Structure 1
């Protein structure tokens, strides 16, 4: 008898744990005590957890005869290009490890296989939802919009053995459990931030992170493009911002910056993974790189030296000067023209060298500039101490120990209509050390192990915050101590998948005991992808 499950917390935990154990996915099976890799992953035993799973029926097995079929006559894809591109993306993922040709063909050119289709009638799936239906003769992925098909591909990918991620031919078999997954996200905003200012990361390094984010259904890439230590985006009207302000980084390295073509390529690549780039220019503090580049931006007309340390709160634009707003207008105008996404982040945190009156006056001038160029403001939660613009989002990075007054300020702004992105530093900041022995990272917000990073509910984190005001979650990665992709890997994983699950999965799925088992099975997949993740002792990692 088929059994539909929507993961009520206790029952879902017991059912999934039993299913994992029954297939050899839990429990010690060797000298290492690690659970062995799966023969057939139970339907829905992935990260993030799906909203609804109905297991049953025979699995589908990929063979040399399998084709990727695309039905491109659907909603939001009138010329079929998006659906076909997603089909090619899927085939490109699967070909190296399977060794199969996996041709991408029109739906009526073959039978069975993997069918990708957009359905005008699937409105309940929304912008990013999907249905995956698997059986003996094939797998069908259905969505209302192309983004939903792309998210479905990530689910199909995780249902296959971890070796599917390798770039050389593996033995298989390649089986997808039978049944149906119907899935939609809890929150529309599910982000990850990469600080490219403290240390600069190349276009290829950013693309690598984009691909990692895609696996876990992240849909926003927040790029922190300016700070005291470096300015990272070319601005034609103020060229020294990049050429001089971008010439260093923490510790005094060479820095770097993105040309406009570089930035366009990041935006294009992110869009191909159905991620929206959210650029941030941090204002009015965290601005030493700009102040060093142009003396006239300083109240005393004297440019400070470039800065390569890690202190915060010492810099500020000159709020009374009119040239400040000419500068801001030019930067936002050029950045908005490069950015097709909806949002532009204006920072606003740790402006300790700006008086409260000046801070409010500055935000009153700058937020309308963002609107003038067609973008919606995001600011760090200190923006709620000013007058957030209509429709603005505030990004909360406070701690459990933050004052009741600070939390209430954010909650009051939310009750007045400001949406909130939740990035609590003592849970979601990926640069916090796991333990005192972690070589990388900082610890000012405390130590953040895998369980602490996962085990909180966005809807109840802040007292007095209406659940309807929560726009979503974001996992920031600040880079004072992060300078290489291998550092990103170690600090983002395994915590990033947990934050992604909080953003995507229904609250009823939230259960550490079950999540740690699903996370354990991500270990071999991360290794196959070349990601050297932190082996948290809180997780019973599967054998590689």
Structure 2
């Protein structure tokens, strides 16, 4: 009997593999595929063709496709105005189609590739599929026809840039990542603050940041990282060309310490609430917040470009429910006056009262089952996006919510309507249920987490949730093991490698050849940086009087230095943090073999084959006065190793290096 069961399992797995092999493997999976015989090989030099009457609508998508073909495959394509040709990619608009909706498309792979859709966005999503198909079918595209469309219209990601700054380059890369996986929303949480217990239980010392330039309130903008109005405006316009709607969020009236630091009179008079609470009864508060929103919403070319703006409204003290409802309704109406659809955090299930709050046509972020669940939002007439905290919140390096999501459970069991594992699903295809968002919160200010460490957590989660929001249930056709393998082999996006993947062991300097650095010169390598898991090996011989804090290796996101503070110690810097290997001092005028190993938990230093120090496991502990308990912060001493250049023109290493090798493990 056991043999029969085993045979049945093997047969089922084999059948699933056959099914998978008969359909082009992309993420998210195609809704429908009708195969035809044979394969079609696109030339490495070719055309992306659009018709003259559709040039205005499709030229930008065609140009991005040409750039991406070059970036991913080195192919030389050009945009041509004309008619469909054999061996070319043809983009075209079709008549409205109820099956395809606003984002669906058809793709025909015969003697060329034709992508047609009722909208330009649908055509663009088809180009994302084509890029993945080319990558995953290097020997030629399977001939056939795809009909593809999303099950949910809103598929997104929220990033907390307030408590950890993310560069504009990072955000632009993330737009490309979201777009490559057909996720169409990016919510940018622009202001927030740390937890007071980690700053001596003193609100005046607690970290807070507002990340956007303000001309009306000079000094409000964070000094350790921010976006100018111009670059944030351009970023949103760039995102729109990739099919991504950027939703800026100014979070009020809680989480508002950045504003009360700027003007302490804005803080609630009731000190029980904490200085991060705006005072809901003061006209000065409304004048300030009105003016701040107006700064970004007014004018012919407003800073907030897209159709939606998030007004926050979560986790205010429950004693002020009535006035909180008044505040919420005021800003729903205020933002609406500018022609924008307001979004807000779901709180009104807890913040009950007589003051009416009209949610009709508004979009509620249903973040917590108790504060306001999906069904309650729908009954209130709102449109709903699910950001269920227990299932979709990533909070790096803490002991609550998720450091990493449960990818297999999400793939096999989760659907976007669910807010908790034991919660029955709400009505499927409810017209006001829009979809879901993954969210990353950087609660532990100063814990050493890097931008790329956040990405290590969010990227695989995005791959899973995009599958469930576009395709839906697919585990019976593609097992989780198969899906995971596809995820790991699919690029992040054209031209994006935040994971810093290096495919194989790479020798970066000629074996045995010494590289001499004078302290002001640079030698470049073929690898920018290497991500987890990795080993970097080199031999080093500093000059007799080594430069202090000398850059030995430099990459896009980090630096590795020698002779830290004239102690002979190695150190590395990234994201505004500095980490030091204290257990070893490098001798001068002597060759030493060094090996650095890195993973998602920490960084190890080996000298002449012996492990001398591991940076991992440092924990801070503080006393939380409000809750009368001890709280912890777990520090991240990780490094995606920089390799783009040896040395630096200003603060470089002086000495010799040889036998530099990087190896993915």
Q: Tell me if the contact between 2:85 and 2:112 (Cα under 8 Å) persists in the aligned partners.
A: no
Q: Tell me if the contact between 2:158 and 2:439 (Cα under 8 Å) persists in the aligned partners.
A: yes
How far the C-alpha of 1:133 sits from its partner, in A, is 0.9
CA distance in 2, matches of 1:472, 1:313: 34
Matched, 1:472 2:442: no
Aligned to 2:116: 142
Aligned to 1:499: 465
Aligned to 2:29: 49
How far the C-alpha of 1:374 sits from its partner, in A, is 1.6
Q: Tell me if the contact between 2:173 and 2:496 (Cα under 8 Å) persists in the aligned partners.
A: no
Going from structure 1 to structure 2, the CA distance change for 1:279 and 1:96 (only over 3 Å counts) comes to: closer
How far the C-alpha of 1:101 sits from its partner, in A, is 2.0
Aligned to 1:364: 329
Going from structure 1 to structure 2, the CA distance change for 1:81 and 1:515 (only over 3 Å counts) comes to: farther
CA distance in 2, matches of 1:417, 1:282: 23
Going from structure 1 to structure 2, the CA distance change for 1:14 and 1:141 (only over 3 Å counts) comes to: farther
Aligned to 1:217: 182
Q: Which of the numbers 40, 43, 47 marks the counterpart of 1:67?
A: 47
Going from structure 1 to structure 2, the CA distance change for 1:288 and 1:523 (only over 3 Å counts) comes to: same
Larger radius of gyration: 2
Aligned to 2:401: 445
211-220 vs 453-462, which moves further: 453-462
After the TM superposition, which residues 292-441 of structure 1 pair with which residues of structure 2 at under 5 Å, given as runs?
Answer: 292-300=261-269, 315-336=276-297, 337-352=302-317, 355-384=320-349, 385=351, 387-398=357-368, 406=371, 410-431=374-395, 440-441=396-397
Gaps of 5+ in 2: 1-10, 194-207, 502-531, 534-598, 600-663
Q: Tell me if the contact between 2:19 and 2:477 (Cα under 8 Å) persists in the aligned partners.
A: no
Q: Secondary structure at the match of 2:347?
A: helix
Going from structure 1 to structure 2, the CA distance change for 1:374 and 1:98 (only over 3 Å counts) comes to: closer
Q: Which of the numbers 440, 453, 470 marks the counterpart of 1:487?
A: 453
CA distance in 1, matches of 2:379, 2:14: 38
Going from structure 1 to structure 2, the CA distance change for 1:418 and 1:72 (only over 3 Å counts) comes to: farther
CA distance in 1, matches of 2:112, 2:107: 11
Q: Tell me if the contact between 1:127 and 1:145 (Cα under 8 Å) persists in the aligned partners.
A: yes
CA distance in 1, matches of 2:394, 2:91: 35
Q: Tell me if the contact between 1:13 and 1:511 (Cα under 8 Å) persists in the aligned partners.
A: no
Going from structure 1 to structure 2, the CA distance change for 1:293 and 1:161 (only over 3 Å counts) comes to: same
Q: Which of the numbers 94, 113, 116 marks the counterpart of 2:88?
A: 113
Going from structure 1 to structure 2, the CA distance change for 1:292 and 1:19 (only over 3 Å counts) comes to: same
Q: Which of the numbers 90, 93, 104 marks the counterpart of 1:129?
A: 104
Going from structure 1 to structure 2, the CA distance change for 1:465 and 1:419 (only over 3 Å counts) comes to: farther
CA distance in 1, matches of 2:434, 2:186: 15
Structure with more relative contact order (C-alpha pairs < 8 Å, separation 6 or more): 1
Q: Tell me if the contact between 1:141 and 1:152 (Cα under 8 Å) persists in the aligned partners.
A: yes
CA distance in 2, matches of 1:72, 1:473: 38
Q: Secondary structure at the match of 1:316?
A: coil
Structure in which a larger fraction of residues adopt strand: 2
Q: Tell me if the contact between 2:267 and 2:276 (Cα under 8 Å) persists in the aligned partners.
A: no
Matched, 1:233 2:212: yes
CA distance in 1, matches of 2:270, 2:441: 31
Going from structure 1 to structure 2, the CA distance change for 1:64 and 1:86 (only over 3 Å counts) comes to: same
Going from structure 1 to structure 2, the CA distance change for 1:12 and 1:118 (only over 3 Å counts) comes to: farther
Going from structure 1 to structure 2, the CA distance change for 1:238 and 1:105 (only over 3 Å counts) comes to: same
Give the root-mean-square deviation of aligned CA atoms.
3.1
Q: Secondary structure at the match of 2:251?
A: coil
Q: Which of the numbers 176, 185, 193 marks the counterpart of 2:158?
A: 193
CA distance in 2, matches of 1:362, 1:97: 49
Matched, 1:272 2:241: yes
Gaps of 5+ in 1: 1-10, 24-41, 75-79, 163-171, 248-254, 303-311, 432-439, 537-542
256-265 vs 122-131, which moves further: 122-131
Q: Tell me if the contact between 1:396 and 1:420 (Cα under 8 Å) persists in the aligned partners.
A: yes
Structure in which a larger fraction of residues adopt helix: 1
337-346 vs 442-451, which moves further: 442-451
Any idea what the Cα deviations from partners look like across 1:206-237, whole Å, max 9, x if unmatched?
Answer: 10111111111011110001112210112322
Give the TM-score taking structure 1 as reference length.
0.77
Q: Tell me if the contact between 1:107 and 1:115 (Cα under 8 Å) persists in the aligned partners.
A: no
CA distance in 1, matches of 2:268, 2:477: 52
Q: Which of the numbers 44, 60, 70 marks the counterpart of 1:95?
A: 70
Give the TM-score taking structure 2 as reference length.
0.64
Q: Tell me if the contact between 1:240 and 1:294 (Cα under 8 Å) persists in the aligned partners.
A: no
CA distance in 2, matches of 1:441, 1:59: 47
Any idea what the Cα deviations from partners look like across 1:121-144, whole Å, max 9, x if unmatched?
Answer: 556422211111112x11111111
